[in-house]
Structure 1
Amino acid sequence: MYVATVVVTLLAGVVFGLALAAPPGPMNAIIAEESVLHGWLAGFKAGLGAMTADAIFFVLAALGVVAFVERFPTLRAVMVGIGGVLMLYFAYGAARDVQSSFHAAADAEVRKTGTGFTKAFVLALTNPYQILFWLTIGVGLLDPGTLDVLAETPYVGASLAGLLVVETGSPALVVGFFGGIVVWITGFPAALVGAERRVNALAPVVAGASAVVLAGFGVLFLSQAVGTFVPA
């Protein structure tokens, strides 16, 4: 019975990690761009950068540091503003890659396959949505209670509420959560690379879409930061 409970909790954690990692956003924009321009390994490294930031947030949340940062709106606004500027900078880089092809990028820019990790890692550390997640839901993963897993899915959570409710306070839930993220950052780049091999025009399309997503979030984050200093 105990083993079955652990397995169910582990699988629920995997679903939770996938549900949070899969929706469109700045992290997946970077993973997509790196994957189609530099190959699977580059996309995986970008995903690993975002997951590393999540692991750091988990530790800081458990220690109470993330909650400490939230008590200082000015500090949080500065972090958000930095994230906005970085997203606009990376959006500019993605826009320059619109004319690139997968093979040209792979041949001429192999040395750049490690940059995706840094880009995703830095952006994740300044992403207010990730900070907010670890301040609320994430910090309670190890506290006894319950969690409506699918209700926390971005964009569609309200329609999925009540479908998968699990007990928190188990390390298996945390292990499954990060396991779900690993599944996504492994499979998503592989799917993109496989699709690009069949559709030659995919690389510039993905680069252009990544630029739009990053620019949009960059403007959003900067407006949030400015709003803290200049109230309406």
Structure 2
Amino acid sequence: MNAVIAEESVNNGWFAGARTGLGAMTADAVFLVCSLLGVVTFVERFPTVRAVMVGVGGVLMLYFAYGAALDAAGDTETVPTGGSTLPTRATTGFRKAFILALTNPYQILFWLTIGVGLLEPGRLDVLAYTPYVGADLAGLLVVQTGSPALIVGFFLGIVVWITGFPAALRAAQRRVAKFAPLVAGASALVLAGFGVVFLVDAVRTLV
């Protein structure tokens, strides 16, 4: 998500980056409601469904990586908009992040474990649920749960990040002439890397 936010921020401006982050946050809100209603448990109950979602997420990441690579190469198409030009993908950030989040089973798993757990009285080992490296991170971040204020604070933290992160990128971009291509290139590598990981994961599960 940060790779997508970064790409949108440096290519289309602060608002586009913040709007992209809002798309991811909206998906989190949807997952929170669905997890409280018990809907998303369906995904974890059926490995084939989870594998398909992982595969779709991997394909989307590779597709977005291709777009980021084009941006890094300076091959972004533009269309006239009221006498000026605007990248054709400038208005897709919110939709891109929202769809990518909805096809991410690890985000669903987060809300099945950490998200709902924040509302249940007790203690929660947050990093223990991290995909692939959870066992190594267990015990590093344990929080007291049971207050709705934790959920409110969680989303306020997201708001701070999705507004501050694009602002920091734009500030750096004003100081470094080649910053946008570098960020777009790095975003392409991150998205492509996770896309491959997701596809491998999906194939292994289905096989």
Provide the TM-score with structure 2 as the length reference: 0.87
How far apart are the structure 2 equivalents of 1:98 and 1:166?
Answer: 40
Number of positions where the alignment pairs a residue of Structure 1 with one of Structure 2: 201
Give CA deviations for 1:119-145 in whole Å, capped at 9, x if unaligned.
111111112321221121112111111
Tell me the equivalent position of 1:18: none
Query: Deviation string for 1:177-231 (max 9, x for gaps)?
Result: 000010000100000001001101000000000111101111111111111121x
CA RMSD of aligned residues (A): 2.7
Secondary structure at the aligned position of 1:108 is classed as strand
Deviation at 1:148, TM superposition (A): 4.5
Q: Percent sequence identity over matched residues?
A: 70
Residue 83 (structure 1) aligns with? 57
Match of 1:142, SS state, is coil
Matched, 1:220 2:202: no
Q: Does 1:158 align with 2:137?
A: yes
* Structure 1 counterpart of 2:164, from 175, 180, 187: 187
Q: Secondary structure at the match of 2:163?
A: helix
Question: CA separation in 2, counterparts of 1:33 and 1:160?
Answer: 34
Matched, 1:71 2:20: no
**Is residue 206 of structure 1 aligned with residue 183 of structure 2?**
yes
Relative to structure 1, is the Cα distance of residues 217 and 65 closer, same or farther in structure 2, using a 3 angstrom cutoff? same
Trace 1:50-129 onto structure 2 (pairs within 5 A): 50-100=24-74, 108-110=85-87, 112-129=89-106
Give the counterpart of 1:146 among 117, 123, 142. 123
Structure having the higher helix fraction is 1
Report SS of the residue matched to 1:112. Answer: coil
Deviates more, 1:132-141 or 1:57-66: 132-141
Instruction: Compute the displacement of 1:149 (Å).
Output: 5.4
Q: Which blocks of at least 5 consecutive residues in structure 2 are unaligned? A: none
Tell me the SS of whatever aligns to 1:146. Answer: strand
SS at match of 2:40: helix
Cα distance in 2, alignment partners of residues 212 and 166 from structure 1: 33
Shift of 1:167: 2.5
Preserved CA contact (<8 Å) 2:110 2:129: no
> Aligned partners of 1:146, 1:195: CA distance in 2, in Å?
39
**Structure 1 residues 81 and 116: alpha-carbon distance in aligned structure 2, compared to 1, 3 A threshold:** same
Q: Give the conservation status (yes or no) of the 8 Å contact 2:52–2:202.
A: yes
**1:44 is aligned to 2:18:** yes
Q: For residue 7 of structure 2, what is the aligned residue in structure 1?
A: 33
- Structure 1 spans left out of the alignment, 5+ residues: 1-26
- Aligned-partner Cα distance in 2 for 1:109–1:127: 30
TM-score by length of 1: 0.78
How far off is 1:150 after superposition? 7.0
Report the secondary structure of 2:119's partner residue: coil
Q: Hey, what does 1:174 align to over in structure 2?
A: 151
2-structure distance, mates of 1:159, 1:228 = 25
How far off its partner does 1:76 sit?
A: 0.9
